Amino acid sequence: MSPYDAVCRVLDAYFDALYYCDTDKLTQVFHPRAIYATADEQPLLYRTMEEYVPVVAARTSPASRGEARIDAVESIEFAGENTAFARARCAIGDRQFTDFLTLIRSAGEWRIIAKVFQIEVRTS
Domain of 84, CATH number, reads 3.10.450.50
Q: How many residues does the chain have?
A: 124
Q: Which residues pair with 120 in a beta bridge?
A: 96
Q: Rounded mean pLDDT of 82-104?
A: 96
Write out the residue range of the structural domain in which residue 48 sits: 3-121
How much is the pLDDT for 42?
A: 81
| Percent of the chain predicted with pLDDT > 70 | 99
Q: What is the pTM of this model?
A: 0.93
23 Cβ contact partners less than 8 Å away, ≥ 6 residues apart: 17, 53, 56, 57
pLDDT digits over 29-85, tens only? 999 999 999 988 788 899 999 999 999 999 999 999 999 999 999 999 999 999 999
